[in-house]
Amino acid sequence: MRTSVLDFTTILHVIGFVLLCANLPVLALGQVSVVAGEGATIALTNTRVKVSGSWSSQGTFASDSSIVEFTGSGQHGLSHTGTGTFSDLHVDMIEGQVRLQSDLMVDGVLRLTRGILNLNGYTVDLGNTGTLEETDSGRVTGTSGTIKATRVLGAPDSVNIAGLGAIITSSVVLDTISVTRGHAVQTSGDGSVSRYFDISPATNSSLDAHLVFTYRDAEVDSVEESSLQLFRSEDGGISWIEEGGVLDTVANTITHTSIEAFSRWTAAPRTLSNAMPFPIPPNAGTELLLLQNYPNPFNPETILTFSVPEPGQTILLVYDVSGKVVARLFDGQPLPGKLYHFRFDGRQHASGLYLYALHYRGQVKTRQMLLVK
């Protein structure tokens, strides 16, 4: 069946009645915003709706085999707080962006040909069937907000889940897996690229998996691209484990193998927010190490780094001069041979001398640091 095009030329108000569009002819071009109040219904069938303004719907929205396409230029708002989902949502703008003003569900294709979809603190859910298509000229971004998808996988072989850019291979059946992509920089200082993935499969141990982490040039910003490698966080970005990986700056990918479990991943320079301006000790991974924090003195944040040679219960604590514990930065069993980086935030603490101690299998290593406000 032929898909028709509906091109609104004025502000279309849909308040308290039903708008049905099916196989409609092309109408005149012009600036348009779509506003549908509570109790209103927009029902589209085999129709392409071109919107060169904003979209706000509070009622029922049905988009059977239809495309809503943002065109034109400038900044357009997109909000849908009623029931229903977008089938296909396209952005093809000469310049500018579509700025989310609510969470959104897309169960077809979210296509960015030209222009930006700014998440603006909200979530785009691609569910079980939606996919993302981006180009060099069109992409999803935003310093807050996420885009996510869920799939049921067997043993994946180079599967780019929903087109989000995390390409996964594993000989293990992963079952239900959710992948969430965000664009907030994950570390202070030099920071990371403005992209991270939260990867959560139902089966998440002994995976022996491969991950290809993709990124875009626009997400590198001031980070030194040639020094990028992968970092993994098990606590939502509070602390980071250096993983490495093979960087391809032409393809904009970092590939890492032999992954036993997934969590949050980002790409950053080796020193992760410039935490260590000196070389990594050659005995890292073979001895118990607690490195001097950097910067020191600091205000308001500093990075603490340690490494353990063998598995074992490990605790990293920060004390004030009275011996009171003011922060518990880590309590668990780190992987041997990995450098663990932790950020200590001094905003809620007074200026002065602090001690930090690494407790590991009956051993204790301590260092001092100075908070100057």
What confidence tens digit (pLDDT) does each residue in 5-26 have?
344 433 344 433 344 444 443 3
Same domain, 22 and 105: yes
* Per-residue confidence band for 274, with pLDDT thresholds at 50, 70 and 90: very low
Q: How far apart are CA 226 and CA 148, in angstroms?
A: 28
Q: Tell whether 145 is covered by a domain.
A: no
Same domain, 245 and 359: no
Q: For the sheet with 60-64, list strands across it.
A: 18-22, 41-45, 60-64
Same domain, 191 and 125: no
For the chain, what percent of residues have pLDDT higher than 90? 60
Per-chain mean pLDDT for the chain: 85
Number of domains in the chain: 3
Which range of residues forms the domain containing residue 176?
Answer: 151-269
- The pairing of strands 104-105 and 166-169 is unpaired
Residue 297: is the preceding peptide bond cis (ω within 30°)?
Answer: yes
Same domain, 80 and 167: no
Q: Tell whether 37 is covered by a domain.
A: yes
161 three-state secondary structure? helix
Question: Checking phi first, is residue 171 left (phi over 0); if not, alpha (psi -120 to 50) or beta?
Answer: alpha
Q: How far apart are CA 182 and CA 126, in angstroms?
A: 14
Write down the pLDDT at residue 17: 39
Among 137, 161, 180, identify where a domain stops.
Answer: 137
Same domain, 25 and 125: yes
Q: Tell whether 283 is covered by a domain.
A: no
Same domain, 158 and 133: no
Tell me the pLDDT tens digit for each residue of 198-207.
999 999 999 9
SS (H, E, C) 166-208: EEEECCCCCEEEEEEEECCCCCCCCCCCCCEEEEEECCCCCCC
Selected residue with higher pLDDT from 216 and 270 = 216
Q: Tell whether 333 is covered by a domain.
A: yes
Write down the pLDDT at residue 338: 79
Q: Tell whether 309 is covered by a domain.
A: yes
pTM score = 0.74
Selected residue with higher pLDDT from 276 and 194 = 194
Q: How far apart are CA 108 and CA 128, in angstroms?
A: 10
Among 137, 161, 192, identify where a domain stops.
Answer: 137
Q: Tell whether 211 is covered by a domain.
A: yes
